[in-house]
Amino acid sequence: MDTLFIVLNIILLLLLCFGLYTMQKKGISFSKRVFSALGIGIVFGLGLQFVYGSGSEVLSGSIDWFNIVGSGYVKFLQMIVMPLVFISIIAAFTRLTLKSNIGKISALIIGILIGTTAVAAAVGIGTTLVFDLEAIQIEQGEAETVRGEQMEQRAGDLASKTFPQQMLDFIPSNVFLDFTGARSTSTIAVVIFAAFIGIAYLGVRRKNPEQAESFAKIVDTFYTIIMRVVTLILRLTPYGVLALMTRVTATSDYGAIAKLGQFVAASYVALAIVFGIHLILLAIAGLNPLTYVRKAIPVLSFAFTSRTSAGALPLNIKTQTKELGVSDGIANFAGSFGLSIGQNGCAGVYPAMLAVMIAPTVGINPLDPSFLFMLIVIVAISSFGVAGVGGGATFAAILVLSAMDLPIALAGLLISVEPLIDMGRTAVNVSGSMTAGVLTSKVTNDLDTSVFNSKASTDMELDV
């Protein structure tokens, strides 16, 4: 009987996917299809949990099949991340889209990412104090205890490396290994390697223009093919979002969410404020924040449902270049750096909130100015090279709590609501990298304001 219900659920998902395909054939915009998939996924997931129960065999079996669509889509995106980053940055040199000094562009992007992360930490601190959150208020069950022990073990592993050693990890010693994404800093390592090739190309162009021209044509061919692959994958976005959102809502522990509702609410208030700060920065730069929101919604929706900044990179870069007027080079630098440096949600808001919650348990006054100042500085520094790995928020929290001499195990108390909060954190992470790209383009006069101010592209124009 269970198998029959699982087959029925699979058929229902396929029918919903067919509905999204019909919307595409009718010319309904990409953004509307993504949002429709988001809403349908929420309703479908809640319905499945209501009918079968969160721990049923039918539900787990159905989700297993749904993952072919949802997780499969994420894997396709992750598959193209390294080739996209590599070829796009080289193409930025061969196509002369990097008009400004590369060092200046990199410094601006990293500065914006780190600066907004420090601000995000301050927002997280303020929100925690306003909501009067303390770790002692949270009940500790078996799952929380196990999670705490795992975090303490990870802390011991991370403590074996000093900050300078962590910085050295950015430099690729085996670029072929980094192309596999084997290290937490692999994306940044590939960016560095691609930049070296780009700089070498500029040198060859001065001394041997014929060979440089041949190389540029090869790069242009590869770039065109890679971008076509990206387009093919992005066409699957509504279906991926539908399956991912169904899984999240069908498997969430709503009882635990209710118990920790205050922390969840405080987290989303903080994340909303940080997103608002992104919009304020754009407004200060003379750009319409509402235009940004309208055009960024598809990629932020995907980041929200998938909980993967790396998986969102292709859509992130395409949105920056095709919708927001950012040059290819800056978009790729901002998107790539944003995977491992200064993630506003995972490395900014979350560790700061945890530190303030845990501080009273060891007799530290969370209102002490010296404690707050040190916390913001440590959060900003710790955001280097940590948030890009799987479970990035956990790594960031471990580093911050260790540096502040706070008990790491208490961070495991929030395991039951981690997936729900991580959705919002990931969306804010991606928004932070996109904001860094737009602002850097504006400062360096590389931003195509006519593209930024134009209406959101139709599906045909976006070729999605």
Considering only 62-66, 139-143, 227-231, 397-401, which range has the smallest mean pLDDT?
139-143
Mean pLDDT across the stretch 202-216? 91
Mean pLDDT across the stretch 285-293? 94
Mean pLDDT across the stretch 377-400? 72
Q: What is the b/e burial string over 241-275, where b = at least 16 CB atoms within 10 angstroms of the residue's CB?
A: bbbbbbbbbbbbbeebbeebeebbebbbbbbebbb
pLDDT at residue number 459: 47
Residue by residue, what is the 3-state secondary structure of 139-163? Answer: CCCHHHHHHHHHHHHHHHHHCCCCH
Q: pLDDT digits over 236-281, tens only?
A: 889 998 998 898 888 877 776 776 788 889 999 999 999 999 999 9
Q: pLDDT digits over 301-334, tens only?
A: 888 887 778 778 888 988 999 999 998 888 888 8
Q: Over 50: is that where the pLDDT of 183 sits?
A: yes
Q: pLDDT digits over 8-34, tens only?
A: 999 999 999 999 999 989 888 887 888
pLDDT at residue number 106: 86
Q: Over 90: is that where the pLDDT of 56 sits?
A: no
pLDDT at residue number 298: 85
pLDDT at residue number 154: 54
Cβ atoms of 344 and 117 closer than 8 Å: yes
pLDDT at residue number 2: 81
Q: Please list the alpha-helical segments (H only) found in 159-253.
A: 163-168, 175-179, 186-207, 209-234, 237-251
Q: Cα angle vertex 107, ends 323, 426, to 5°?
A: 50
The residue among 365 and 392 whose pLDDT is bigger is 365
pLDDT at residue number 460: 38
Q: Over 70: is that where the pLDDT of 364 sits?
A: yes
Cβ atoms of 331 and 315 closer than 8 Å: no
pLDDT at residue number 116: 95
pLDDT-based confidence at 172, cuts 50/70/90?
confident
pLDDT at residue number 387: 46
Cβ atoms of 238 and 41 closer than 8 Å: no
The residue among 164 and 211 whose pLDDT is bigger is 211
Considering only 43-57, 109-123, 173-187, which range has the smallest mean pLDDT?
173-187
Q: Over 50: is that where the pLDDT of 389 sits?
A: no
Q: Over 60: is that where the pLDDT of 147 sits?
A: no
Q: pLDDT digits over 436-459, tens only?
A: 999 999 999 889 999 999 876 644
Nearest to 279 by CA among 150, 427, 435, 105: 435
Cβ atoms of 331 and 321 closer than 8 Å: yes
pLDDT at residue number 173: 86
pLDDT at residue number 171: 84
Q: pLDDT digits over 76-97, tens only?
A: 888 888 898 888 888 878 876 6
Structure tokens at 438: 């737009």
% the chain with pLDDT above 90:
33
pLDDT at residue number 68: 93
Considering only 170-179, 271-280, 304-313, 340-349, which range has the smallest mean pLDDT?
304-313
